[in-house]
Amino acid sequence: THTKPDISREKSAALYEKSKKYFPGGVNSPVRAFKSVYGTPLFIQKGDGCFIWDADDNQFIDFCASWGPLILGHNHAKIREKVAEVMQNGMSFGAPTALENELAELIIKNNRFVEKIRFTSSGTEAVMSAIRLARGYTGRDKIVKFEGCYHGHSDSLLVKAGSGLVTFGETSSAGVPKAFAEETIVIGLNDKTALTQVFEQFKDQIAAVIIEGIPANNGLLIQDKEYIEFLREICSTNGTLLIFDEVITGFRVGFEGAAAYYGITPDIVTYGKIIGGGLPVGMYGASAEIMGHISPDGGVYQAGTLSGNPVAMAAGIATLTELSKSGFYKDLNAKAQEFVESIQRFASARNYKFKVFTVGSVFWFAFIDKDKIQTAEDIDPASMEKFKVLHRELLNRGVYLGPSGYEVGFVSAAHSKIELEKAKRAIFEALDVVFAK
Ligand code: PMP
C-alpha cells in the first residue's frame, strides 16, 4: 500500500504551456483543465478499444469514454469504416440527406417516447431547444430545474438554487442576465414538498420541469421511481411539460434510456453523446403533436448549419446499429455490475468509507458513508480530497477516470474481462493508498 511514482507528463506539460497561450485555461471545456485533481492535464494522442495513450505514451484503461459517448470503446472499426465511407462523398451540404432518415428510423422505431425528432450538434443545443419548444407550446415562461442536474450551458439553465425552499434561481455564471435566471426556478431533488409548493406558487406559469432522467452530473443521484411518478403526475395536472434530459442516460442505461428504466413517459426528451458515436450530435424529440410546433411547421424557431450533417449521422448510425442488437445492454450491464460489485465488496471488507453508486454501465465512486445519495446536498465537498488522491494513484497505475470526483465513470463494450480485472487491482491498490493516509 504505497504510492507509485508519478507518470511522466513532460510532453503533456509542454503542450499545456502552449495551449494556455491559445485558450482560456489552456482548454476548450473547463473540466479538462484538471483543476480539481493533481497535476497538469494529460493530452491524449490516441484511443483504441478501452485504452487511451497520452502524449508521453502512457497507456490507460479509460473509464471516461469522452464523457460518455464511447459506449463501444475508442476507434471502433464499424464506426470508423462507416464514417470513412460517407466522407468519400463530402462532409456537409446543409441540405437533407438519406442518412438523417436512416438514423431517425433507428431511433424512432426502437423508442416508444419519440414520434418526431430534430437533430442538433450538441447536448446543450438540444436542451436549449427543448426548453424553447416547451415555452412555445405552453405559452408560459417559467421552468423548473433541480439543484444537482446539469443541462448544458445555455443561459436559462446556468442557474443554481437561491436560498430558501422555493426561490428564483441565481445565475451560476457571470454573463447570464438576472432576468433570465428569474424565469428558472431551482429546487432540490427528491423533495415532493418543494415540488408541490412550486406549483402552488407559480400556478399556470410553469412551461416545463426539466430533470436528468437519472441525475449523473453531480455524482450519481438515483431517484426513487415513486418520486419521478409524482413529478410526472404533478406536471400533467398542471399542464406543464416534463422534459427528460437523457444526454447521458439515453442509449446508456438501455436503448430507451431512463424513461424506460422508470417506465415513465416524458413529454420531451433530449439525447446527446452516444447518439453521435463520438461525433457532435444532439437531439430532442416528442410526440408529433408537440414537435409540430417547431419551425418550419410551427412557430418555435430552431436551426443549425451542421445539424444532421452526414459524417456525424454516419457515426450515429454505426453506433446505434450495434446497440440495437439483442443482448447488447444485458451483456454490458452485467459486466459493469460485476466490476463495480467487486470493488464495493473490497472496500466494504476493509471498512473503507467508500461507496460505488451505479446504474447499468454508469458508476460513481463516492467517499461517503451513505447507502443512498439523492440530492446534491448529501455530497460532502471535503470527500473530494480523497478523490484527488485516488485519481492520481489510478493514473499512476494505468487507469483513467474523468478529472473530477463529481463525474461518473462509464464501462464500455470494449472493456474485456481481463482489462476490468487489471483495473480492479489498480483500484484496490489505490483505495488502500487513499485510506492509509
Ligand atoms: N445535458 C446533460 C445531462 C449532460 O450531461 C450534458 C453534458 N455533459 C449536456 C446536457 C450538455 O451536452 P454538451 O456538452 O454536448 O453540450
- Across residues 282-308, what is the average pLDDT? 98
Q: Which residues line ligand 1 (CB under 6 A)?
A: 67, 122-124, 127, 150-152, 212, 217, 245, 247-248, 272, 282
Residue 26, number of CB atoms within 10 A of its CB: 19
Q: Whose alpha carbon is nearest atom 13 of ligand 1?
A: 123
Q: Tell me, in angstroms, the distance from the centre of ligand 1 to residue 104's CA.
A: 20
Question: Which residues are catalytically annotated?
Answer: 150, 245, 273
* Residue whose C-alpha cell reads 507528463 in the numeric block: 9
- Across residues 369-389, what is the average pLDDT? 94
Ligand 1 pocket mutation, candidates 66, 149, 243, 273, criterion most atoms within 8 A of CB? 273
Percent of the chain scoring above 70 in pLDDT: 98
CB-based contact 397:424 (threshold 8 Å):
no
Looking at residue 127, its pLDDT comes to 98
Q: How many residues does the chain have?
A: 437
In the DSSP assignment, the letter for residue 42 is P
pTM: 0.97
pLDDT range class, residue 437, cuts 50, 70, 90: confident
CB-based contact 259:250 (threshold 8 Å):
no
Ligand 1 pocket mutation, candidates 248, 253, 279, 283, criterion most atoms within 8 A of CB? 248
Asked if residue 113 is part of any domain, the answer here is: yes
Q: Is the pLDDT of residue 265 over 60?
A: yes
Q: Closest ligand 1 atom to the C-alpha of 272?
A: 15
- Across residues 214-225, what is the average pLDDT? 96
pLDDT in tens, 296-340: 999 999 999 999 999 999 999 999 999 999 999 999 999 999 999
Asked if residue 50 is part of any domain, the answer here is: no
Q: Does 15 share its domain with 142?
A: no
Looking at residue 172, its pLDDT comes to 86
Q: Is the pLDDT of residue 124 over 80?
A: yes
Q: Closest ligand 1 atom to the C-alpha of 270?
A: 1
Q: What range defines the domain where residue 22 resides?
A: 1-40
Class of residue 254 by CB neighbours under 10 A (exposed 0-12, middle 13-18, buried 19+): buried
Looking at residue 361, its pLDDT comes to 98
Ligand 1 pocket mutation, candidates 149, 151, 362, criterion most atoms within 8 A of CB? 151
- Across residues 410-425, what is the average pLDDT? 98
Looking at residue 169, its pLDDT comes to 74
Q: Does 183 share its domain with 297?
A: yes
Q: Tell me, in angstroms, the distance from the centre of ligand 1 to residue 299's CA.
A: 26
- Across residues 90-114, what is the average pLDDT? 97
Asked if residue 377 is part of any domain, the answer here is: no
Domain boundary among the residues 323, 342, 374 is at: 323
CA distance 134 to 153: 18
Number of domains in the chain: 2
Identify the three-state secondary structure at position 249.
coil
Q: Tell me, in angstroms, the distance from the centre of ligand 1 to residue 149's CA.
A: 10
Beta-strand ranges (E) seen in 183-236 are 184-187, 206-212
Q: Is the pLDDT of residue 212 over 60?
A: yes
Asked if residue 89 is part of any domain, the answer here is: yes
Q: Tell me, in angstroms, the distance from the centre of ligand 1 to residue 150's CA.
A: 7
pLDDT range class, residue 209, cuts 50, 70, 90: very high
- Across residues 186-197, what is the average pLDDT? 96
Q: Does 225 share its domain with 285?
A: yes
Q: Does 173 share its domain with 319?
A: yes
Q: Is the pLDDT of residue 167 over 70?
A: no
Q: Tell me, in angstroms, the distance from the centre of ligand 1 to residue 250's CA.
A: 11
Identify the three-state secondary structure at position 294.
strand
Looking at residue 171, its pLDDT comes to 83
